[in-house]
């Protein structure tokens, strides 16, 4: 039995690439996930496809990977499914990662988490370049409009953040 003291269950989430023309699996990446009744772990968001400098990458947010609060952000090679980098997060995210390119040509990754922190990260390394608190849990995926990022938080606010 894989039950944990708090009633949670350890499981495995499968990330798979399927050839849309043949229906055959190209690759699979497995990662632990933690589940309790009503609160899922695993991949609960849309992956971000890299472009430009990150064109060979696909980015996944995996929630509740090692327990009820933690999560992971992982960049996989689009062709092989191999791990380019994997980053453990103190708070999980149900938000989809977003990859953006500034007017100067610099590429950034954005991910919001269950503690209300927005992470501006380097898509090549996964390391944070900057963070900002949005008050409470953010489940929404940030949207870009020009050079402005827009996202809602559980603190009942909608934030517009200008990227420069």
Taking CA atoms, 134 is separated from 116, 140, 145, in Å, by 5, 12, 19
**Widest Cα–Cα separation across the chain:** 53
Sorting pLDDT into bands at 50, 70 and 90, what band is 150?
confident
Rounded to whole angstroms, the Cα distance separating 90 from 138 reads: 15
Interior angle at CA 40, CA 34 and CA 41, nearest 5: 45
Taking CA atoms, 56 is separated from 14, 99, 112, 144, in Å, by 20, 13, 23, 22
Could you tell me what percent of the chain has a pLDDT over 90?
49
Entry pTM: 0.89
Rounded to whole angstroms, the Cα distance separating 95 from 82 reads: 23
Count CB-CB contacts under 10 A for residue 147.
12
Tens of pLDDT along 72-114? 999 999 999 999 999 999 998 989 999 998 878 889 999 999 8
Sorting pLDDT into bands at 50, 70 and 90, what band is 147?
confident
Q: What is the pLDDT, as a whole number, of residue 1?
A: 47
Q: How many residues make up the chain in this entry? A: 164
Q: What is the pLDDT, as a whole number, of residue 58?
A: 98
78 Ramachandran zone, left/alpha/beta (phi>0; psi -120 to 50) = alpha
Assigned token pair, 29:
């990446």
Assigned token pair, 98:
């977003």
Tens of pLDDT along 4-42? 555 556 788 899 999 999 999 999 999 988 877 777 788
Look up tokens 């409470």; give the residue: 136
Rounded to whole angstroms, the Cα distance separating 65 from 8 reads: 12
Average pLDDT, the chain: 88
């Amino acid at each position: 039995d894989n039950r944990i003291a708090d009633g949670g269950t350890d499981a495995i989430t499968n990330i798979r690439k399927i050839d849309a023309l043949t229906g055959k699996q190209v690759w699979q990446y497995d990662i632990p996930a933690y589940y309790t009744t009503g609160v899922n772990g695993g991949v609960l968001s849309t992956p971000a496809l890299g472009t430009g400098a990150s064109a060979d990458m696909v980015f996944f947010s995996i929630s509740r990977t090692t327990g009820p609060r933690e999560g992971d952000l992982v960049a996989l090679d689009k062709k092989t499914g191999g791990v380019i980098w994997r980053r453990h997060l103190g708070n999980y995210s149900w938000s989809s990662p977003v990859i953006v390119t500034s007017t100067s040509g610099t590429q950034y990754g954005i991910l919001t988490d269950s503690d209300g922190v927005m992470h501006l990260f380097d898509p090549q390394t996964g390391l944070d370049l900057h963070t900002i608190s949005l008050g409470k849990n953010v489940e929404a995926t940030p949207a870009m409009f020009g050079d402005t990022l827009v996202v809602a938080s559980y603190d009942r606010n909608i934030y517009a953040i200008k990227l420069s």
